[in-house]
Amino acid sequence: MSLTLYTSPGCHLCEQAEEMLDYLGLAFNAVDISRDVDLIRIYGVRIPVLQRSDKAELGWPFDTLDIERFYA
């Protein structure tokens, strides 16, 4: 299963989310929403948002346990 993390530059919460994913050893694709107007409209006030390949989403706030449950 693939994971996508919606993020933007300078987002300290996004950095925390990336650190958690790295800690868990989970591969993910980081998508910078600041380069796409549609993504800004969808995720602008919600980032970081983690999305699975089935399009299910886990929105902030979350911790490593939430990520593990989401990924399972």
The position carrying tokens 């990336």 is: 18
Give the mean model confidence (pLDDT) for residues 26-45. 96
Mean of pLDDT over the chain: 97
Give the list of residues 6+ apart from residue 32 with CB closer than 8 angstroms, or none: 7, 8, 9
Pairing of strands 3-7, 57-59: unpaired
Name the class of domain 3-71: alpha beta
Residue 61, preceding peptide bond in cis (omega within 30° of 0): yes
**What is the structure's pLDDT at 1?**
83
* pTM of the complete model: 0.93
| Model pLDDT for residues 20-35, shown as the tens digit of each residue | 999 999 999 999 999 9
Cα dihedral 53/57/63/68 (nearest 10): -40
